[in-house]
Structure 1
């Protein structure tokens, strides 16, 4: 391996960077990736001359062919997906159950799918919970494409599944038969062994101990751990459960030590290590971070160190898992590994080295972290330093020993340690709810921050240069957090409403937060913990725009699809003031929820004004105390830049008639159509009165109410009123300085 490195026409790490640029050129084609690639190509010829450059190009071309070939294969796989599937070979360790919802990955005719099924009975639920065989299912099912992002900077489920070589979803209506199957493939045996191990842990060990055992030994956090998983995420230390270098080093080093003690030769141990690495990768779910660590460890035992090891690891991973740098996990794993390869703190004492290395890596990874997660928890630096020692030095060895001893002797008394640990984590979380929100940097800004941080490291001892670079980085972060534009964004929160208004000075008003209504009583076995819509829609969008505080939150009325997620939003986004209608305060449950938020609440009256964008939003309705229902919705009206906006909540015909009588002249350019475009809103008389140019309709995709109603759409069409719908276009955004530019996600 080292001989290949020596034969490289240019230093291996420089070649790796050039290949990396070509990787993103192919997979993320843009003007920026093109400029970077050709700049590096120019540097190659300029620095090493034509002769060396021409020797390098065949290697580069080989990887380009590899990447292009993989892209072509992906496109062909996407186009050749069948419309119907009758048999699925279930991948055992992918099985997940949330109440009456079953999900798993499966293969059919060599293709991989993500499957879903609504469990029909508790007996069926119990069967799948205990399933520990390789099985083939005969099913009635529909095949569909995964959803792409529905909000700006939102989660792209299709892209996420593609990194796992999955290109279609299977929604199963009926399971006709289940048959145990045999397999000749060792990886199937390994994944089945992983499933059996996870079931064994769940049955033998108590919670929360079992969650940490399955997480740290097998890379699996089950659905019962979701609440604590959220807390770890808010504290910025969920990566403690991401198996990587420490765990891989622990198991590989122990294995090598034992084999060498038994008298095996070095060459034999190296071969066994490769076989063990394949087994360990399968037992930990084939995660990118584990595979990267195993490759690095194997190459290290072959004599490759530092940046040479990093370069060769990249090359191997390009072949093993071509999608590995298209996910946050893959990028962060390699970023951490690269920083560890670059930093050199060997001259420091052990205690200083641990502290300095932790700080350096935290700041070095910072631009990538905010690119993917938009915020940073400063306390995570100290928590990572403290809890990584607990997790890697104490819990990992302890849980490994307890798992291995369990066939002989089950020790559960130490569960109290995990109970105490979670109490400490919860205590810390309760006192540190808010992280620093920076927003999502543009690709150019991200590149600039990475270059600046690298230069700060290089010129660390030259204070003037460091100060200048630090000021430049702060400027870039400020522009990311505070975009110098105005915006009105209808966020796609599914079947609900949420509209963000923000001006160039940073003033923010949020109208409603969305929420998921629950339908019908369910038996205990059917109940599942739903993730709030806002956690995957509204909150990520706000944070991606650098918004950590909402100055005024207007809750138009008390329906769940408008206010259901207010607690979730308040937990992650600071709220200055909540504005409600007087009628909403007659709802005792709603009032108690408001009190629990501990945020100032004010009932606003007709005639009040909210200032934003150098203008005012006027409160037009309701005229007096109501019942907090649809026709008690707060209605806001005002000129924002060059257009008149009317925000109507869930206002229906009776409320619209009251507006017509009270406001004889109400010119509107942009109407937020009432009640998601229902049949009883946006009446003919009302539309003729306000004469909008554009109607915005917020409705969930394939919602059960059939919103927006076809009659409403017909009324808009007859009047030549253009419409934009979140169920079809995703989020809708007006953005600009003096005039609006309209953008949609789809």
Structure 2
């Protein structure tokens, strides 16, 4: 019900109706009445929660001044960027905020801070952005799972001079957050990787430094290890019981103390979903037995905690960690008496659909590793992390074991066993989950296994060998990146990679977050099962066209790189090439008349060797099933005019406007000579350059040329399907514009 209301789909409707039919088939009128009342209540509650979220959302960017209450453990310093979760007092809500640190000493103060402080701020606030590309991470939904709807870009931030009244509960929470930050500062002094693993497993804190380790675990299909990381709650409770028993403290007193400790540790542990699930189950079990004299089963406590979680944060149903945590914990509870091998196989079968839906890849070794890794993680990794963190005398020994463990995982992750599968449709995710349930029930196993394997193979082939071709103008913000692929993925070309112009000069300002080349371009390619490009064409040297080249090359194999003649000699390009995974002999300089390894691509510019500037931009014509498409990089007006003088008969149907719609490109005589039937403009939202320029848009209107802008429409697609070519965009995903290109 939460899923249907917050993200409607017909697959969800079918699942919901199937569930209702199953309840009706029980034949119990009492169960049916209770179910009906619960459905009415829950649907009403989710609608109400959603309305409150929408009411709090600030749709249009607004200038604001106000106060933020900030706990020291709820912000992260990344280079010169401060990422904050804080309570906005005037708005009576929690917000995500960003602030650019101005000085190195200011950064040091933030890193050392351990107190809850109220700050005054000024800046701009707006609802958290939606994704603008297909399969892009939905950050708005992620923040909604934490009951956050707005984001603030802070311009000025300083400690508040006025005292803000706070309740006893607020002061208690502030103290617990203070303790957590002190613990984090202590753990940061431990050797690596003990420090990073202790932060994420014990305190639920994940830094950028942990991404490399986590990426190796992800490649092995073992992401669920951190979804089940609440297993250390078992160690915590067992340790307290053992200690109190030796101190001759009664069982009743012990349970009272544990009931107090569990919620406190929940806050100290960062309130992560997996941790709160584990704490909640232990807490409910103790409460029911102690105060209500009821012994509830682990399944019942699991169910109750899930309901409480969804009541508090309905959008957490979309969180990958929450999905894995609750699903795999349920599988563990239902298979207590199963062998390690059978349990590993079942955990794998249930996790595959969710992992493919979220990461698009799977490792052939995962089934084997699942059998081995769960006891390895539970009886070696977790004890080493706990003991190494709490007992300084054994820290080095525990860290040595962890170093070897991480090295083993890294070595295995480097095996060529990882499969880029792509993102399956939602129908198949539900279908595979249903098959996994039937397999666990134990009937018709051979038929079900055969059906499972054949369906995975069918979907794999469907994703990797599409029946249609497409040109995808990716919304990369202020930059350019375009994908061209033919049916069955016979030919795959990427023109430019996007990238941000960096003005950072000092080392302390360097940020470690992923580039949008990884999170948008490579993410889209992987979601379509694309792990290799036949060619990458870099039109010129500007960072907003080539900046993401190194980061993309580490995720996607690139066979050939084409650059305008002369650019391959530039130190800036050579610097990027060294940082990439591309070898020098795979770089090919081109100019007019040069042939490349695709007969549908015709190089029209540059005419001679240059410096990779705007004037030297690679201009290429692509024949897309009889529809000529032109890509001009950032070519300036003078060279546009020279181009049509050289090629007076050049005409195109689809024109990718030069220089993001700047007035320095798209000369009226150039546009008039080409006579395009449609224009595409790639530019960032509210960019500092004012792209696209009104002069350029007026030129298009004067020549009666319709256009789409990525800043307004997001990803734009030109699709060849069933012998027809249609244009669609991400913002209007259900609206497809047809044009006659004959």
Question: Normalising by the residue count of structure 1, what TM-score does the alignment of the two structures yield?
Answer: 0.87
* TM-aligned CA deviation for residue 379 of structure 1: 3.9
* TM-aligned CA deviation for residue 281 of structure 1: 1.3
Moved more, 478-487 or 367-376: 478-487
For residue 184 of structure 1, the aligned residue among 151, 165, 168 is 168
Does residue 357 (structure 1) correspond to residue 343 (structure 2)? The answer is: yes
* TM-aligned CA deviation for residue 365 of structure 1: 0.9
For residue 482 of structure 2, the aligned residue among 499, 510, 517 is 499
Moved more, 650-659 or 162-171: 650-659
Residue correspondence of structure 1 range 690-701 to structure 2 within 5 A:
690-701=674-685
Residue correspondence of structure 1 range 289-304 to structure 2 within 5 A:
289-299=274-284, 302=289, 303-304=295-296
> Pairwise CA RMSD of aligned residues?
3.1
The match for 2:81 is 101
Kindly indicate whether the alpha-carbon contact (under 8 Å) linking 2:657 and 2:679 is maintained by their aligned counterparts in 1. Answer: yes
The match for 1:85 is 65
Does residue 545 (structure 1) correspond to residue 525 (structure 2)? The answer is: no
* TM-aligned CA deviation for residue 711 of structure 1: 2.2
For residue 483 of structure 1, the aligned residue among 456, 459, 466 is 466
Moved more, 655-664 or 677-686: 655-664
Kindly indicate whether the alpha-carbon contact (under 8 Å) linking 1:487 and 1:501 is maintained by their aligned counterparts in 2. Answer: yes
The match for 1:319 is 311
* TM-aligned CA deviation for residue 369 of structure 1: 0.8
Does residue 676 (structure 1) correspond to residue 665 (structure 2)? The answer is: no
For residue 330 of structure 1, the aligned residue among 298, 301, 322 is 322
The match for 1:156 is 138
* TM-aligned CA deviation for residue 260 of structure 1: 4.6
CA distance in 2 between partners of 1:315 and 1:226 (Å): 31
The match for 1:437 is 420
CA distance in 2 between partners of 1:238 and 1:442 (Å): 21
The match for 2:736 is none
Moved more, 68-77 or 337-346: 337-346
Does residue 534 (structure 1) correspond to residue 513 (structure 2)? The answer is: no
CA distance in 1 between partners of 2:557 and 2:401 (Å): 34
For residue 221 of structure 1, the aligned residue among 201, 206, 209 is 206
Kindly indicate whether the alpha-carbon contact (under 8 Å) linking 1:449 and 1:476 is maintained by their aligned counterparts in 2. Answer: no
Structure 1 residues 482 and 459: alpha-carbon distance in aligned structure 2, compared to 1, 3 A threshold: farther
Which string of whole-angstrom CA distances, capped at 9 and with x for unpartnered residues, describes residues 553-607 of structure 1? 2222333322222222222112233333333333355357557523734445545
CA distance in 2 between partners of 1:375 and 1:686 (Å): 45
CA distance in 1 between partners of 2:159 and 2:410 (Å): 45
* Residue aligned with 1:87, SS: strand
Structure 1 residues 476 and 617: alpha-carbon distance in aligned structure 2, compared to 1, 3 A threshold: same
Structure 1 residues 384 and 559: alpha-carbon distance in aligned structure 2, compared to 1, 3 A threshold: farther
Kindly indicate whether the alpha-carbon contact (under 8 Å) linking 2:480 and 2:544 is maintained by their aligned counterparts in 1. Answer: yes
The match for 1:740 is 725
Structure 1 residues 680 and 744: alpha-carbon distance in aligned structure 2, compared to 1, 3 A threshold: same
The match for 2:39 is 60
* TM-aligned CA deviation for residue 231 of structure 1: 4.4
The match for 1:288 is 273
CA distance in 2 between partners of 1:344 and 1:387 (Å): 17
Residue correspondence of structure 1 range 638-653 to structure 2 within 5 A:
638-641=622-625, 643-653=627-637
* TM-aligned CA deviation for residue 498 of structure 1: 1.1
The match for 1:509 is 493
Residue correspondence of structure 1 range 627-642 to structure 2 within 5 A:
627-641=611-625
Does residue 200 (structure 1) correspond to residue 186 (structure 2)? The answer is: yes
* TM-aligned CA deviation for residue 371 of structure 1: 0.7
Structure 1 residues 70 and 464: alpha-carbon distance in aligned structure 2, compared to 1, 3 A threshold: closer
CA distance in 2 between partners of 1:608 and 1:452 (Å): 54
Give structure 2 stretches of 5+ with no counterpart: 290-294, 732-742
CA distance in 2 between partners of 1:441 and 1:126 (Å): 45
CA distance in 2 between partners of 1:451 and 1:545 (Å): 24
Structure 1 residues 592 and 285: alpha-carbon distance in aligned structure 2, compared to 1, 3 A threshold: closer
* TM-aligned CA deviation for residue 50 of structure 1: 5.2
Structure 1 residues 318 and 230: alpha-carbon distance in aligned structure 2, compared to 1, 3 A threshold: closer
* Residue aligned with 2:457, SS: helix
* TM-aligned CA deviation for residue 463 of structure 1: 2.5
* TM-aligned CA deviation for residue 660 of structure 1: 0.5
The match for 1:248 is 233
CA distance in 2 between partners of 1:385 and 1:654 (Å): 66
* Residue aligned with 2:558, SS: strand
* TM-aligned CA deviation for residue 690 of structure 1: 0.2
* TM-aligned CA deviation for residue 156 of structure 1: 2.1
Give structure 1 stretches of 5+ with no counterpart: 1-21, 347-352
CA distance in 1 between partners of 2:670 and 2:464 (Å): 40
* TM-aligned CA deviation for residue 540 of structure 1: 0.9
* TM-aligned CA deviation for residue 646 of structure 1: 0.8
* TM-aligned CA deviation for residue 489 of structure 1: 0.6
* Residue aligned with 2:651, SS: coil
* Residue aligned with 1:84, SS: strand
CA distance in 1 between partners of 2:725 and 2:102 (Å): 50
Kindly indicate whether the alpha-carbon contact (under 8 Å) linking 1:673 and 1:696 is maintained by their aligned counterparts in 2. Answer: yes
Residue correspondence of structure 1 range 498-647 to structure 2 within 5 A:
498-507=481-490, 508-519=492-503, 521-522=505-506, 524-587=507-570, 590-591=573-574, 594=577, 597-598=582-583, 600-604=586-590, 606-607=592-593, 616-641=600-625, 643-647=627-631
Which string of whole-angstrom CA distances, capped at 9 and with x for unpartnered residues, describes residues 36-90 of structure 1? 3234324433442656423431233232333223223222322699862321111
Kindly indicate whether the alpha-carbon contact (under 8 Å) linking 1:456 and 1:469 is maintained by their aligned counterparts in 2. Answer: no
CA distance in 2 between partners of 1:586 and 1:122 (Å): 35
Residue correspondence of structure 1 range 707-722 to structure 2 within 5 A:
707-722=691-706
The match for 1:14 is none
The match for 1:35 is 14
* Residue aligned with 2:73, SS: helix
Kindly indicate whether the alpha-carbon contact (under 8 Å) linking 1:136 and 1:178 is maintained by their aligned counterparts in 2. Answer: yes
Structure 1 residues 494 and 183: alpha-carbon distance in aligned structure 2, compared to 1, 3 A threshold: same
Structure 1 residues 422 and 466: alpha-carbon distance in aligned structure 2, compared to 1, 3 A threshold: closer
* Residue aligned with 2:567, SS: helix
CA distance in 1 between partners of 2:448 and 2:190 (Å): 56
The match for 1:75 is 54
Does residue 657 (structure 1) correspond to residue 641 (structure 2)? The answer is: yes
* TM-aligned CA deviation for residue 373 of structure 1: 1.4
The match for 2:106 is 124
Alignment coverage as a number of residue pairs: 712
* Residue aligned with 1:637, SS: strand
Kindly indicate whether the alpha-carbon contact (under 8 Å) linking 2:233 and 2:278 is maintained by their aligned counterparts in 1. Answer: yes
Does residue 143 (structure 1) correspond to residue 128 (structure 2)? The answer is: no
Moved more, 513-522 or 233-242: 233-242
The match for 2:734 is none
Structure 1 residues 315 and 420: alpha-carbon distance in aligned structure 2, compared to 1, 3 A threshold: closer
* Residue aligned with 2:724, SS: coil
* TM-aligned CA deviation for residue 372 of structure 1: 1.2
The match for 1:13 is none
